[in-house]
Amino acid sequence: MVFLDPESGQLLQFKEKATTEFWDQQWGECDLKEKVTRQRRNRLVDAVTKKYLAPGSRVLDAGCGIGATVHGLDLLGYDAVGIDTAENTVKLINQHFPKLEVSVQDVQSTDFPDESFDGCWSLGVIEHDLNGYDQIIIETHRILKPGGFLFLTFPCMSPLRRVKARFGLYNNLLKNQDYDTFYQFMLEPSMVIDRLKNFGFVIRSRTYADGTKGLKDEISFLKPLLQRIYNGKNMVAKVLNFAISKTCAPFAGHGVLLVCEKINKGD
């Protein structure tokens, strides 16, 4: 169930609370070694990291999940590190991939010294915290070197979602809303960008992504067809998914990628 918060203009999705136990359960049901091996090459992560950081750079995946991004960056020649609060999942990563540097840590308060990293990926993390994401940004700024990059992704208020909100096509958040099943926000990019700037980042790039998912989730009569394309494993489905996603992302993208550079005060 999705509700609109009229005050912030953002959407809230209620499904199941995204606790540490929730993620451990989700990831514990898969063959972790097989899934990490299959998902280790993420075209977006590979391309963006290579554009902004040279091989050998120290890169953190903050909220690394099953560790696929850490494994992929390691294979590309980066000094890759991962952290997550899901203890059981981290144990499995350490068991199956002992050479990877992955540990149990909270993205809001890590053990890393100041200015430890050249880059940091945050892939779908900040939207799950009902209390806000300021502390995550502050901590990331602390552990990045001056000139280091934060690569931040989150579900967003796309132009399509803004249009639907303007025409009252979402139910408003209830005054007595029960937040026990809160899952995530669809955040307004301009609001996130303002917070990032306040905490010492400059935005180098903003890119909407996953237009197929954005369309299927928001336009009900298209969902049956788009769902088959989105889940399709054959070449035709993959080509269609890529074309639809790329074409529709600027208007209907489910998520956004912000490339943010740490600047010194006064720069």
At 74 the three-state DSSP class reads helix
Q: Is residue 231 part of a domain?
A: no
Does 184 map to a domain? yes
- How far is it, in rounded angstroms, from Cα 196 to Cα 199? 5
Contact assessment for residue 94 and residue 107, using Cβ atoms and an 8 Å cutoff: no
Q: Does 230 fall in a domain?
A: no
The pLDDT tens digits for 236-253 are 999 999 999 999 999 999
Number of domains in the chain: 1
For residue 31, give the CATH number of its domain.
3.40.50.150
Residue 29 reports pLDDT greater than 70 = no
**pLDDT for the residue 23:** 79
Q: 114 with 142: CB under 8 angstroms?
A: yes
The pLDDT, as a whole number, for residue 127 is: 95
Helix 68-75 with 43-52: angle, nearest 10 deg: 50
> Which tops the pLDDT comparison, 203 or 28?
203
- Give rounded-to-5 percent helix, strand, coil for the chain: 45, 25, 30
Is 247 domain-assigned?
no
In a domain, 46, yes or no: yes
Question: Please, which pLDDT band fits residue 233 given cuts at 50, 70 and 90?
Answer: confident
| Separation between Cα atoms, residue 110 and residue 95, nearest integer Å | 22
Confirm whether 215 is domain-assigned.
Answer: no
pLDDT of residue 174: 84
Q: Please indicate, yes or no, if residue 236 is contained in any of the structural domains.
A: no
| Residue-number span of the structural domain to which 93 is assigned | 2-210+254-262
pLDDT at 93 over 70: yes
Contact status, residue 39 vs residue 68, Cβ threshold 8 Å: yes
Q: Which residue has the higher pLDDT, 35 or 263?
A: 263
The mean predicted confidence, pLDDT, of the chain is: 91
Tell me the per-residue pLDDT of 131-169, one tens digit each, with 9 for 90 and over. 899 999 999 999 999 999 999 999 999 999 999 999 999
Domain membership of residue 106 (yes or no) is: yes
| Count of other CB atoms within 10 angstroms of residue 205 | 14
